Amino acid sequence: MFVVERTVKLEKGFIDIHKEKMNEYSSIFKSPGFVKREVLISTTNKEFDLIKTLVYFNDKKAYYVWEGSPEHIKMHKEKKENPVKPVGVISVERNYYEHFITNMHE
């Protein structure tokens, strides 16, 4: 599996707005090779909050299919046409991983 990790660092007080956005439907859910999306939230830091999104694809090729899809391109085109920084966002970091192993309780 191929995993895309996106970490959004937020100012305190903006987590609920972003949680609502994460609950909205995304066209990625119907992309060929999409497996699942996990959203993790951390509010333990006194200065900022974190939202970590892990998106799983069958393989790297499936991710590139999504990245090149008309839906994905349209989404980024709209962001370029309206380059307003999302409210409360301090920074965004993206990383890519090849899934190695999952251990589970038996």
Model confidence over 12-62: pLDDT tens digits?
999 998 888 888 888 999 999 999 999 999 999 999 999 999 999 999 999
20 domain-assigned: yes
CATH number at residue 51: 3.30.70.100
Per-residue pLDDT at 35: 97
pLDDT more than 70, % of the chain: 92
Domains: count for the chain? 1
Amino acid letter, 90: I
| Torsions phi, psi for 70 (to 5 deg) | -60, -35
Per-residue pLDDT at 89: 93
CB distance 30 to 74 below 8 Å: no
How far is residue 77's CA from residue 97's CA, in Å, rounded to a whole number?
26
| Domain extent at residue 34 | 2-98
CB distance 59 to 1 below 8 Å: yes
Give residues with Cβ within 8 angstroms of 91, minimum separation 6: 8, 9
Mean pLDDT across 66-85: 77
pLDDT more than 90, % of the chain: 69
103 domain-assigned: no
Per-residue pLDDT at 79: 64
